[in-house]
Structure 1
Protein backbone atom coordinates (compact mmCIF):
# COMPACT_ATOMS: atom_id res chain seq x y z
CA UNK A 1 0.00 0.00 0.00
CA UNK A 2 2.80 2.38 0.87
CA UNK A 3 4.35 1.77 -2.53
CA UNK A 4 1.12 2.62 -4.34
CA UNK A 5 0.70 5.78 -2.28
CA UNK A 6 4.23 6.86 -3.09
CA UNK A 7 3.62 6.21 -6.79
CA UNK A 8 0.42 8.27 -6.75
CA UNK A 9 2.35 11.16 -5.24
CA UNK A 10 5.24 10.82 -7.66
CA UNK A 11 3.09 10.59 -10.80
CA UNK A 12 2.04 14.28 -10.90
CA UNK A 13 5.65 15.34 -10.34
CA UNK A 14 6.87 13.14 -13.18
CA UNK A 15 4.10 14.38 -15.49
CA UNK A 16 4.86 18.01 -14.67
CA UNK A 17 8.58 17.43 -15.19
CA UNK A 18 7.93 15.81 -18.58
CA UNK A 19 5.70 18.69 -19.68
CA UNK A 20 8.29 21.28 -18.64
CA UNK A 21 11.14 19.39 -20.29
CA UNK A 22 9.44 18.50 -23.55
CA UNK A 23 7.16 21.51 -24.12
CA UNK A 24 7.76 24.47 -21.83
CA UNK A 25 11.56 24.70 -22.14
CA UNK A 26 11.73 24.51 -25.98
CA UNK A 27 8.89 27.04 -26.22
CA UNK A 28 10.64 29.34 -23.77
CA UNK A 29 13.91 29.12 -25.73
CA UNK A 30 12.13 29.99 -28.99
CA UNK A 31 10.34 32.98 -27.47
CA UNK A 32 13.30 34.36 -25.55
CA UNK A 33 15.73 33.91 -28.45
CA UNK A 34 13.39 35.77 -30.81
CA UNK A 35 13.85 38.99 -28.79
CA UNK A 36 17.65 38.79 -28.38
CA UNK A 37 20.39 40.47 -30.39
CA UNK A 38 22.24 38.53 -33.07
CA UNK A 39 25.28 38.01 -30.85
CA UNK A 40 23.27 36.67 -27.92
CA UNK A 41 21.19 34.41 -30.15
CA UNK A 42 24.21 32.62 -31.65
CA UNK A 43 24.11 30.18 -28.74
CA UNK A 44 20.44 29.73 -27.72
CA UNK A 45 20.07 29.27 -23.97
CA UNK A 46 17.73 29.96 -21.08
CA UNK A 47 19.29 33.27 -20.10
CA UNK A 48 17.06 36.35 -20.55
CA UNK A 49 18.24 38.96 -23.07
CA UNK A 50 20.55 41.71 -21.92
CA UNK A 51 18.50 44.07 -24.10
CA UNK A 52 15.11 43.42 -25.67
CA UNK A 53 14.85 43.65 -29.47
CA UNK A 54 11.20 42.69 -29.77
CA UNK A 55 10.06 45.39 -32.18
CA UNK A 56 13.28 45.42 -34.22
CA UNK A 57 13.48 41.65 -34.77
CA UNK A 58 9.84 41.12 -35.64
CA UNK A 59 9.72 44.18 -37.90
CA UNK A 60 12.79 42.98 -39.78
CA UNK A 61 11.34 39.51 -40.23
CA UNK A 62 8.01 40.94 -41.42
CA UNK A 63 9.67 43.17 -44.00
CA UNK A 64 12.50 40.94 -45.26
CA UNK A 65 10.93 37.52 -44.85
CA UNK A 66 8.02 38.08 -47.27
CA UNK A 67 5.62 36.93 -44.57
CA UNK A 68 2.42 38.57 -45.94
CA UNK A 69 2.75 36.86 -49.35
CA UNK A 70 3.69 33.54 -47.75
CA UNK A 71 0.78 33.84 -45.30
CA UNK A 72 -1.76 34.23 -48.09
CA UNK A 73 -0.11 31.35 -49.95
CA UNK A 74 -0.57 29.14 -46.91
CA UNK A 75 -4.17 30.27 -46.52
CA UNK A 76 -4.84 29.63 -50.22
CA UNK A 77 -3.85 26.01 -49.73
CA UNK A 78 -5.07 25.36 -46.19
CA UNK A 79 -8.62 26.78 -46.21
CA UNK A 80 -9.93 24.80 -49.24
CA UNK A 81 -8.10 21.71 -48.00
CA UNK A 82 -9.67 21.82 -44.54
CA UNK A 83 -13.14 22.59 -45.91
CA UNK A 84 -12.94 19.85 -48.52
CA UNK A 85 -11.52 17.21 -46.19
CA UNK A 86 -14.13 17.88 -43.51
CA UNK A 87 -17.07 17.84 -45.93
CA UNK A 88 -16.04 14.84 -48.04
CA UNK A 89 -14.72 12.90 -45.05
CA UNK A 90 -17.92 13.48 -43.05
CA UNK A 91 -20.10 12.35 -45.94
CA UNK A 92 -18.04 9.21 -46.48
CA UNK A 93 -17.95 8.46 -42.75
CA UNK A 94 -21.74 8.79 -42.50
CA UNK A 95 -22.27 6.24 -45.27
CA UNK A 96 -19.65 3.85 -43.88
CA UNK A 97 -21.10 4.07 -40.36
CA UNK A 98 -24.69 3.40 -41.38
CA UNK A 99 -24.14 0.44 -43.69
CA UNK A 100 -22.93 -2.84 -42.24
CA UNK A 101 -21.61 -5.44 -44.66
CA UNK A 102 -18.36 -7.18 -45.49
CA UNK A 103 -17.85 -4.97 -48.53
CA UNK A 104 -18.45 -1.88 -46.41
CA UNK A 105 -15.95 -3.09 -43.79
CA UNK A 106 -13.38 -3.55 -46.54
CA UNK A 107 -14.06 -0.07 -47.86
CA UNK A 108 -13.62 1.36 -44.35
CA UNK A 109 -10.30 -0.47 -43.94
CA UNK A 110 -9.10 0.92 -47.27
CA UNK A 111 -10.32 4.41 -46.36
CA UNK A 112 -8.40 4.57 -43.08
CA UNK A 113 -5.30 2.82 -44.43
CA UNK A 114 -3.96 6.21 -45.48
CA UNK A 115 -3.21 6.94 -41.83
CA UNK A 116 -0.39 4.39 -41.76
CA UNK A 117 0.58 4.18 -45.45
CA UNK A 118 2.81 7.10 -46.52
CA UNK A 119 2.12 8.64 -49.95
CA UNK A 120 4.66 8.00 -52.69
CA UNK A 121 6.12 11.40 -53.53
CA UNK A 122 7.54 10.44 -56.94
CA UNK A 123 4.23 8.92 -58.05
CA UNK A 124 2.31 11.98 -56.86
CA UNK A 125 4.56 14.40 -58.74
CA UNK A 126 4.42 12.34 -61.95
CA UNK A 127 0.63 12.08 -61.74
CA UNK A 128 0.25 15.83 -61.21
CA UNK A 129 2.49 16.48 -64.21
CA UNK A 130 0.30 14.23 -66.36
CA UNK A 131 -2.77 16.15 -65.18
CA UNK A 132 -1.12 19.55 -65.66
CA UNK A 133 -1.49 20.38 -61.96
CA UNK A 134 2.16 20.25 -60.89
CA UNK A 135 3.25 23.48 -59.25
CA UNK A 136 -0.30 24.72 -58.69
CA UNK A 137 -2.35 25.36 -55.58
CA UNK A 138 -5.09 23.09 -56.97
CA UNK A 139 -2.62 20.22 -57.24
CA UNK A 140 -1.38 20.79 -53.70
CA UNK A 141 -4.94 20.88 -52.37
CA UNK A 142 -5.69 17.61 -54.17
CA UNK A 143 -2.64 15.98 -52.58
CA UNK A 144 -3.66 17.08 -49.10
CA UNK A 145 -7.24 15.92 -49.68
CA UNK A 146 -6.00 12.46 -50.54
CA UNK A 147 -3.60 12.38 -47.60
CA UNK A 148 -5.90 13.50 -44.81
CA UNK A 149 -9.31 12.12 -45.77
CA UNK A 150 -8.36 8.97 -43.87
CA UNK A 151 -7.91 10.92 -40.64
CA UNK A 152 -11.34 12.53 -40.87
CA UNK A 153 -13.07 9.28 -41.84
CA UNK A 154 -11.44 7.49 -38.90
CA UNK A 155 -12.53 10.12 -36.38
CA UNK A 156 -16.02 10.76 -37.71
CA UNK A 157 -17.11 7.17 -38.42
CA UNK A 158 -16.93 6.15 -34.77
CA UNK A 159 -18.78 9.26 -33.70
CA UNK A 160 -21.59 8.77 -36.23
CA UNK A 161 -22.20 5.28 -34.82
CA UNK A 162 -23.07 6.87 -31.47
CA UNK A 163 -25.81 9.03 -33.05
CA UNK A 164 -29.24 7.34 -32.77
CA UNK A 165 -30.48 6.22 -36.17
CA UNK A 166 -34.00 7.15 -35.05
CA UNK A 167 -33.17 10.81 -35.66
CA UNK A 168 -32.57 10.11 -39.33
CA UNK A 169 -35.62 7.90 -39.61
CA UNK A 170 -37.82 10.63 -38.14
CA UNK A 171 -36.44 13.14 -40.64
CA UNK A 172 -37.10 10.74 -43.53
CA UNK A 173 -40.67 10.25 -42.34
CA UNK A 174 -41.08 14.03 -42.57
CA UNK A 175 -39.95 13.87 -46.20
CA UNK A 176 -36.26 14.80 -45.85
CA UNK A 177 -33.88 13.39 -48.44
CA UNK A 178 -30.31 12.17 -47.79
CA UNK A 179 -28.75 15.58 -48.42
CA UNK A 180 -31.12 17.34 -46.06
CA UNK A 181 -30.68 14.64 -43.39
CA UNK A 182 -26.92 14.98 -43.54
CA UNK A 183 -26.73 18.78 -43.43
CA UNK A 184 -29.56 19.38 -40.94
CA UNK A 185 -29.29 16.36 -38.64
CA UNK A 186 -25.86 14.72 -38.86
CA UNK A 187 -23.49 17.58 -39.59
CA UNK A 188 -24.51 19.78 -36.61
CA UNK A 189 -23.99 16.81 -34.27
CA UNK A 190 -20.44 16.29 -35.59
CA UNK A 191 -19.12 19.60 -34.27
CA UNK A 192 -16.90 18.16 -31.48
CA UNK A 193 -15.22 15.67 -33.81
CA UNK A 194 -14.94 18.16 -36.66
CA UNK A 195 -13.30 20.67 -34.30
CA UNK A 196 -10.67 18.07 -33.46
CA UNK A 197 -10.18 17.18 -37.12
CA UNK A 198 -9.91 20.86 -38.05
CA UNK A 199 -7.08 21.44 -35.59
CA UNK A 200 -5.22 18.32 -36.72
CA UNK A 201 -5.53 19.05 -40.45
CA UNK A 202 -4.61 22.71 -39.97
CA UNK A 203 -1.52 21.61 -38.07
CA UNK A 204 -0.49 19.12 -40.76
CA UNK A 205 -1.05 21.44 -43.72
CA UNK A 206 0.25 24.66 -42.15
CA UNK A 207 3.57 23.13 -41.11
CA UNK A 208 4.17 20.93 -44.14
CA UNK A 209 7.45 21.44 -45.96
CA UNK A 210 8.21 18.03 -47.46
CA UNK A 211 5.28 17.53 -49.83
CA UNK A 212 4.87 21.24 -50.57
CA UNK A 213 8.54 21.42 -51.61
CA UNK A 214 8.06 18.78 -54.32
CA UNK A 215 4.63 19.89 -55.53
CA UNK A 216 4.68 23.71 -55.41
CA UNK A 217 8.24 24.56 -54.36
CA UNK A 218 9.47 27.68 -56.18
CA UNK A 219 6.04 28.47 -57.68
CA UNK A 220 3.94 29.34 -54.63
CA UNK A 221 5.17 30.58 -51.27
CA UNK A 222 3.87 29.11 -48.03
CA UNK A 223 5.22 30.08 -44.62
CA UNK A 224 7.27 26.89 -43.99
CA UNK A 225 8.55 26.86 -47.57
CA UNK A 226 9.44 30.53 -47.38
CA UNK A 227 11.35 30.06 -44.13
CA UNK A 228 13.25 27.15 -45.67
CA UNK A 229 14.08 29.18 -48.78
CA UNK A 230 15.27 32.35 -47.05
CA UNK A 231 17.31 30.35 -44.54
CA UNK A 232 18.89 28.29 -47.33
CA UNK A 233 19.68 31.44 -49.32
CA UNK A 234 21.75 32.79 -46.44
CA UNK A 235 19.46 35.67 -45.51
CA UNK A 236 19.12 34.28 -41.99
CA UNK A 237 22.58 32.70 -41.80
CA UNK A 238 23.56 32.71 -38.11
CA UNK A 239 20.57 34.97 -37.43
CA UNK A 240 18.85 32.66 -35.00
CA UNK A 241 16.94 35.55 -33.47
CA UNK A 242 15.25 36.17 -36.84
CA UNK A 243 14.59 32.49 -37.49
CA UNK A 244 12.90 32.07 -34.12
CA UNK A 245 10.95 35.30 -34.62
CA UNK A 246 9.71 33.90 -37.94
CA UNK A 247 8.71 30.65 -36.23
CA UNK A 248 6.72 32.58 -33.62
CA UNK A 249 4.88 34.61 -36.26
CA UNK A 250 4.21 31.49 -38.32
CA UNK A 251 2.74 29.72 -35.27
CA UNK A 252 0.32 32.47 -34.21
CA UNK A 253 -2.55 31.46 -36.57
CA UNK A 254 -2.34 27.87 -35.33
CA UNK A 255 -2.41 29.05 -31.73
CA UNK A 256 -5.55 31.03 -32.54
CA UNK A 257 -7.21 27.97 -34.11
CA UNK A 258 -6.26 25.88 -31.10
CA UNK A 259 -7.60 28.41 -28.60
CA UNK A 260 -10.93 28.54 -30.45
CA UNK A 261 -11.36 24.78 -30.72
CA UNK A 262 -9.46 23.38 -27.74
CA UNK A 263 -12.60 22.72 -25.68
CA UNK A 264 -13.80 20.30 -28.33
CA UNK A 265 -10.55 18.33 -28.71
CA UNK A 266 -10.94 15.72 -25.96
CA UNK A 267 -14.63 15.06 -26.62
CA UNK A 268 -13.93 14.78 -30.34
CA UNK A 269 -11.07 12.31 -29.98
CA UNK A 270 -12.85 10.10 -27.45
CA UNK A 271 -16.13 10.21 -29.37
CA UNK A 272 -14.63 9.42 -32.77
CA UNK A 273 -11.65 7.18 -32.11
CA UNK A 274 -12.67 5.24 -29.02
CA UNK A 275 -16.40 4.58 -29.18
Structure 2
Protein backbone atom coordinates (compact mmCIF):
# COMPACT_ATOMS: atom_id res chain seq x y z
CA UNK A 1 0.00 0.00 0.00
CA UNK A 2 2.83 2.41 0.72
CA UNK A 3 5.09 1.42 -2.17
CA UNK A 4 3.10 3.14 -4.91
CA UNK A 5 3.01 6.61 -3.27
CA UNK A 6 6.73 6.44 -2.58
CA UNK A 7 7.48 5.54 -6.20
CA UNK A 8 5.19 8.33 -7.36
CA UNK A 9 6.92 10.86 -5.12
CA UNK A 10 10.32 9.72 -6.38
CA UNK A 11 9.23 10.16 -10.00
CA UNK A 12 7.84 13.63 -9.29
CA UNK A 13 11.08 14.66 -7.57
CA UNK A 14 13.12 13.27 -10.47
CA UNK A 15 11.13 15.36 -12.91
CA UNK A 16 11.39 18.46 -10.73
CA UNK A 17 15.15 18.25 -10.20
CA UNK A 18 16.09 20.02 -13.49
CA UNK A 19 13.64 22.85 -12.79
CA UNK A 20 14.91 23.24 -9.22
CA UNK A 21 18.51 23.33 -10.46
CA UNK A 22 17.66 25.97 -13.07
CA UNK A 23 15.77 28.01 -10.48
CA UNK A 24 18.66 27.91 -8.02
CA UNK A 25 21.09 28.85 -10.78
CA UNK A 26 18.88 31.77 -11.77
CA UNK A 27 18.73 32.98 -8.18
CA UNK A 28 22.43 32.59 -7.39
CA UNK A 29 23.73 33.92 -10.73
CA UNK A 30 20.86 35.90 -12.21
CA UNK A 31 20.11 38.23 -9.30
CA UNK A 32 23.70 39.51 -8.83
CA UNK A 33 24.09 39.85 -12.61
CA UNK A 34 20.83 41.79 -12.84
CA UNK A 35 21.96 44.07 -9.98
CA UNK A 36 25.21 44.85 -11.81
CA UNK A 37 23.53 45.60 -15.12
CA UNK A 38 20.71 47.79 -13.82
CA UNK A 39 23.02 49.71 -11.49
CA UNK A 40 25.47 50.34 -14.33
CA UNK A 41 22.61 51.81 -16.36
CA UNK A 42 21.43 54.26 -13.68
CA UNK A 43 22.37 57.85 -13.00
CA UNK A 44 24.52 58.81 -10.02
CA UNK A 45 21.52 59.74 -7.87
CA UNK A 46 19.63 56.51 -8.54
CA UNK A 47 22.73 54.37 -7.98
CA UNK A 48 23.56 55.75 -4.51
CA UNK A 49 21.63 52.84 -2.99
CA UNK A 50 22.01 49.88 -5.39
CA UNK A 51 18.82 47.84 -5.80
CA UNK A 52 17.10 45.59 -8.33
CA UNK A 53 14.77 48.28 -9.68
CA UNK A 54 15.03 49.39 -13.30
CA UNK A 55 16.50 52.84 -13.93
CA UNK A 56 14.04 55.57 -14.78
CA UNK A 57 16.24 56.33 -17.79
CA UNK A 58 19.09 54.18 -19.08
CA UNK A 59 22.57 55.76 -18.99
CA UNK A 60 24.52 52.58 -19.70
CA UNK A 61 26.46 53.76 -22.75
CA UNK A 62 27.16 57.14 -21.14
CA UNK A 63 28.59 55.39 -18.07
CA UNK A 64 30.68 53.13 -20.30
CA UNK A 65 32.11 56.16 -22.09
CA UNK A 66 32.91 57.90 -18.80
CA UNK A 67 34.62 54.84 -17.37
CA UNK A 68 36.53 54.20 -20.61
CA UNK A 69 38.11 57.66 -20.62
CA UNK A 70 38.28 58.75 -16.98
CA UNK A 71 39.12 55.28 -15.69
CA UNK A 72 41.97 54.78 -18.19
CA UNK A 73 40.67 51.34 -19.14
CA UNK A 74 42.68 50.92 -22.41
CA UNK A 75 46.06 51.16 -20.64
CA UNK A 76 44.91 48.85 -17.84
CA UNK A 77 43.49 46.42 -20.39
CA UNK A 78 46.83 46.07 -22.19
CA UNK A 79 48.57 45.76 -18.82
CA UNK A 80 46.31 42.82 -17.97
CA UNK A 81 46.93 41.24 -21.36
CA UNK A 82 50.68 41.63 -20.86
CA UNK A 83 50.41 39.44 -17.77
CA UNK A 84 47.57 37.06 -18.61
CA UNK A 85 48.55 35.89 -22.12
CA UNK A 86 52.16 34.80 -21.33
CA UNK A 87 51.02 33.27 -18.04
CA UNK A 88 48.29 31.14 -19.62
CA UNK A 89 50.53 30.11 -22.53
CA UNK A 90 53.43 29.19 -20.25
CA UNK A 91 51.30 27.29 -17.76
CA UNK A 92 49.53 25.28 -20.46
CA UNK A 93 52.71 24.40 -22.38
CA UNK A 94 54.84 23.49 -19.36
CA UNK A 95 51.95 21.85 -17.51
CA UNK A 96 50.84 19.67 -20.43
CA UNK A 97 54.39 18.50 -21.19
CA UNK A 98 55.09 17.73 -17.53
CA UNK A 99 51.74 15.97 -17.15
CA UNK A 100 52.43 13.74 -20.14
CA UNK A 101 55.76 12.60 -18.68
CA UNK A 102 54.35 12.13 -15.18
CA UNK A 103 51.39 10.13 -16.49
CA UNK A 104 53.39 7.80 -18.73
CA UNK A 105 56.37 6.97 -16.50
CA UNK A 106 55.23 4.87 -13.56
CA UNK A 107 58.28 5.05 -11.30
CA UNK A 108 58.85 6.07 -7.70
CA UNK A 109 60.66 9.19 -8.84
CA UNK A 110 57.75 10.37 -11.01
CA UNK A 111 55.32 9.60 -8.18
CA UNK A 112 57.35 11.82 -5.85
CA UNK A 113 57.62 14.52 -8.51
CA UNK A 114 53.88 14.38 -9.11
CA UNK A 115 53.18 14.74 -5.40
CA UNK A 116 55.51 17.75 -5.24
CA UNK A 117 53.97 19.24 -8.38
CA UNK A 118 50.40 19.17 -7.09
CA UNK A 119 51.35 20.20 -3.54
CA UNK A 120 50.90 23.80 -4.63
CA UNK A 121 47.13 23.22 -4.66
CA UNK A 122 47.13 22.60 -0.91
CA UNK A 123 50.10 24.65 0.27
CA UNK A 124 49.57 28.43 -0.03
CA UNK A 125 52.49 30.46 -1.43
CA UNK A 126 54.46 32.55 1.03
CA UNK A 127 53.82 36.08 -0.22
CA UNK A 128 56.55 37.73 1.85
CA UNK A 129 59.15 35.22 0.69
CA UNK A 130 58.07 35.60 -2.93
CA UNK A 131 58.32 39.39 -2.76
CA UNK A 132 61.77 39.24 -1.15
CA UNK A 133 62.98 36.73 -3.75
CA UNK A 134 61.71 38.90 -6.61
CA UNK A 135 63.47 41.93 -5.13
CA UNK A 136 66.69 39.95 -4.86
CA UNK A 137 66.37 38.90 -8.51
CA UNK A 138 65.46 42.41 -9.62
CA UNK A 139 62.02 41.31 -10.86
CA UNK A 140 59.86 43.06 -8.26
CA UNK A 141 57.37 45.42 -9.82
CA UNK A 142 57.83 43.97 -13.31
CA UNK A 143 55.52 42.07 -15.61
CA UNK A 144 58.07 39.25 -15.87
CA UNK A 145 58.06 38.80 -12.11
CA UNK A 146 54.27 38.76 -12.04
CA UNK A 147 54.17 36.16 -14.83
CA UNK A 148 56.63 33.98 -12.92
CA UNK A 149 54.55 34.18 -9.75
CA UNK A 150 51.30 33.28 -11.48
CA UNK A 151 52.98 30.44 -13.39
CA UNK A 152 54.32 28.96 -10.18
CA UNK A 153 50.98 29.30 -8.40
CA UNK A 154 48.72 27.78 -11.05
CA UNK A 155 51.05 25.20 -12.60
CA UNK A 156 49.99 22.71 -9.93
CA UNK A 157 46.34 23.03 -10.96
CA UNK A 158 47.10 22.35 -14.62
CA UNK A 159 49.31 19.36 -13.83
CA UNK A 160 46.62 17.90 -11.58
CA UNK A 161 43.90 18.16 -14.25
CA UNK A 162 45.96 17.20 -17.30
CA UNK A 163 47.77 14.23 -15.71
CA UNK A 164 44.49 12.52 -14.91
CA UNK A 165 43.25 13.19 -18.44
CA UNK A 166 46.43 11.83 -20.08
CA UNK A 167 46.03 8.57 -18.18
CA UNK A 168 42.72 7.99 -19.96
CA UNK A 169 44.38 8.19 -23.41
CA UNK A 170 45.29 4.71 -24.75
CA UNK A 171 49.04 4.13 -24.84
CA UNK A 172 48.60 2.13 -28.04
CA UNK A 173 48.03 5.36 -30.00
CA UNK A 174 51.44 6.67 -28.96
CA UNK A 175 53.09 3.30 -29.60
CA UNK A 176 51.66 3.24 -33.13
CA UNK A 177 53.14 6.68 -33.80
CA UNK A 178 56.51 5.55 -32.43
CA UNK A 179 56.47 2.50 -34.71
CA UNK A 180 55.97 4.87 -37.64
CA UNK A 181 59.18 6.65 -36.61
CA UNK A 182 57.80 9.62 -34.69
CA UNK A 183 59.98 11.06 -31.94
CA UNK A 184 58.74 12.02 -28.45
CA UNK A 185 57.98 15.62 -29.34
CA UNK A 186 56.17 14.61 -32.53
CA UNK A 187 54.12 12.03 -30.61
CA UNK A 188 53.09 14.65 -28.10
CA UNK A 189 52.29 17.32 -30.71
CA UNK A 190 50.51 15.06 -33.20
CA UNK A 191 48.83 12.45 -30.97
CA UNK A 192 48.52 13.62 -27.37
CA UNK A 193 48.03 17.38 -27.69
CA UNK A 194 44.92 17.23 -29.96
CA UNK A 195 43.23 14.96 -27.42
CA UNK A 196 44.00 17.39 -24.60
CA UNK A 197 41.90 20.18 -26.09
CA UNK A 198 38.91 19.72 -23.73
CA UNK A 199 40.97 19.75 -20.54
CA UNK A 200 43.26 22.53 -21.79
CA UNK A 201 40.21 24.63 -22.65
CA UNK A 202 38.91 24.11 -19.12
CA UNK A 203 42.30 25.02 -17.67
CA UNK A 204 42.39 28.13 -19.86
CA UNK A 205 39.09 29.34 -18.45
CA UNK A 206 40.20 28.76 -14.86
CA UNK A 207 43.63 30.38 -15.21
CA UNK A 208 42.25 33.37 -17.12
CA UNK A 209 39.60 33.84 -14.44
CA UNK A 210 42.13 33.69 -11.60
CA UNK A 211 44.79 35.90 -13.15
CA UNK A 212 42.49 38.44 -14.82
CA UNK A 213 40.64 39.21 -11.57
CA UNK A 214 43.57 38.95 -9.17
CA UNK A 215 44.28 41.89 -6.91
CA UNK A 216 46.08 40.34 -3.95
CA UNK A 217 49.27 39.03 -5.58
CA UNK A 218 49.37 41.82 -8.15
CA UNK A 219 49.19 44.43 -5.39
CA UNK A 220 52.06 42.95 -3.40
CA UNK A 221 54.28 41.83 -6.29
CA UNK A 222 53.73 44.59 -8.84
CA UNK A 223 53.11 47.27 -6.25
CA UNK A 224 51.33 49.69 -8.57
CA UNK A 225 54.18 49.84 -11.08
CA UNK A 226 52.09 48.03 -13.69
CA UNK A 227 48.46 48.90 -14.31
CA UNK A 228 46.06 45.97 -14.60
CA UNK A 229 42.28 46.22 -14.67
CA UNK A 230 41.68 45.15 -11.02
CA UNK A 231 44.56 47.31 -9.76
CA UNK A 232 43.34 50.25 -11.81
CA UNK A 233 39.83 49.89 -10.39
CA UNK A 234 41.26 49.80 -6.87
CA UNK A 235 43.41 52.86 -7.59
CA UNK A 236 40.69 55.04 -9.08
CA UNK A 237 38.18 54.00 -6.41
CA UNK A 238 40.67 54.84 -3.66
CA UNK A 239 41.44 58.19 -5.31
CA UNK A 240 37.79 59.17 -5.07
CA UNK A 241 36.81 59.00 -8.75
CA UNK A 242 34.28 56.25 -8.07
CA UNK A 243 33.50 57.18 -4.48
CA UNK A 244 29.74 56.61 -4.06
CA UNK A 245 29.51 56.39 -7.86
CA UNK A 246 28.24 52.83 -7.96
CA UNK A 247 26.98 53.26 -11.51
CA UNK A 248 30.60 53.79 -12.64
CA UNK A 249 31.94 50.95 -10.49
CA UNK A 250 29.50 48.45 -11.96
CA UNK A 251 30.05 49.81 -15.47
CA UNK A 252 33.78 49.20 -14.97
CA UNK A 253 33.06 45.67 -13.74
CA UNK A 254 31.02 44.90 -16.87
CA UNK A 255 33.74 46.18 -19.20
CA UNK A 256 36.37 44.25 -17.25
CA UNK A 257 34.34 41.04 -17.52
CA UNK A 258 33.66 41.15 -21.26
CA UNK A 259 37.04 39.64 -22.30
CA UNK A 260 36.47 36.75 -19.87
CA UNK A 261 33.04 36.13 -21.38
CA UNK A 262 34.64 35.99 -24.84
CA UNK A 263 37.28 33.52 -23.62
CA UNK A 264 34.59 31.37 -22.04
CA UNK A 265 32.51 31.28 -25.23
CA UNK A 266 35.51 30.28 -27.38
CA UNK A 267 36.82 27.73 -24.89
CA UNK A 268 33.36 26.25 -24.40
CA UNK A 269 33.14 25.54 -28.11
CA UNK A 270 36.55 23.86 -27.98
CA UNK A 271 35.42 21.69 -25.07
CA UNK A 272 32.29 20.56 -26.92
CA UNK A 273 34.14 19.98 -30.22
CA UNK A 274 36.89 18.06 -28.44
CA UNK A 275 34.47 15.80 -26.62
CA UNK A 276 32.46 15.22 -29.79
CA UNK A 277 35.49 14.38 -31.92
CA UNK A 278 36.77 12.07 -29.22
CA UNK A 279 33.44 10.24 -29.10
CA UNK A 280 33.43 9.81 -32.89
CA UNK A 281 36.94 8.40 -32.91
In the other structure, the counterpart of 2:278 is: none
Deviation at 1:21, TM superposition (A): 1.7
Q: Report the 3-state secondary structure (helix = DSSP H, G, I; strand = E; otherwise coil) of the residue aligned with 2:188.
A: helix
CA distance in 1, matches of 2:249, 2:60: 13
User: Aligned-pair distance for 1:181?
Assistant: 1.5
1:169 matched to 2:170: no
Instruction: Report deviation, 1:137.
Output: 0.3
**1:272 aligns to what?**
none
Question: Which residue does the alignment assign to 2:3?
Answer: none
Secondary structure class of the residue paired with 2:45:
helix
1:56 and 2:62 are equivalent in the alignment: yes
Distance 1:164 1:52 in 2: 56
Distance 1:267 1:184 in 2: 17
Task: Give the whole-Å Cα distance in 2 for the aligned partners of 1:267 and 1:14.
Answer: 29
More divergent stretch after superposition (15-24 vs 260-269): 260-269
| CA deviations over 1:115-137 (Å, ceiling 9, x no partner) | 12211110110110111100000
Q: Deviation at 1:246?
A: 0.1
Structure 1 vs Structure 2 CA RMSD = 1.6
| Rg (Cα) greater in structure | 2
Can you give the 5+ residue segments of structure 2 that lack an aligned partner in the other structure?
1-6, 276-281
Counterpart contact for 1:78–1:206, Cα < 8 Å: yes
Pick one of 116, 120, 130 that aligns with 2:136.
Answer: 130
1:200 is aligned to 2:206: yes
Equivalence map 1:111-126=2 (5 Å): 111-126=117-132
- Structure 1: runs of 5+ lacking an equivalent: 270-275
2:33 counterpart of 1:23: no
Q: For residues 97-145 of structure 1, what are the alpha-carbon distances to aligned partners after superposition, in whole Å with 9 as ceiling and x for unaligned?
A: 0011222222112111111221111011011011110000000000011
Distance 2:139 2:189 in 1: 31
| Counterpart position of 2:82 | 76
* Corresponding residue of 1:38: 44
Aligned equivalent of 1:109, options 103, 107, 115: 115
1:17, CA displacement in angstroms?
A: 2.7
Are positions 1:213 and 2:219 aligned together? yes
Runs of 4+ in 1 over 6 A off after TM superposition: 266-269
TM-score by length of 2: 0.91
Choose 137-146 or 150-159, whichever is displaced more: 150-159
**Which among 153, 163, 168 is matched to residue 159 of structure 2?**
153
Q: Secondary structure at the match of 1:38?
A: coil
8 A Cα contact 2:195 2:274, kept in partner: no
Worse overlay, 159-168 or 18-27 = 159-168
Number of residue-to-residue matches in the alignment: 269
Q: Is 1:97 the equivalent of 2:95?
A: no
Q: Residue 175 and residue 265 in structure 1: after superposition, are their counterparts in 2 closer, same or farther (change >3 A)?
A: closer
Q: CA deviation at 1:10?
A: 4.0
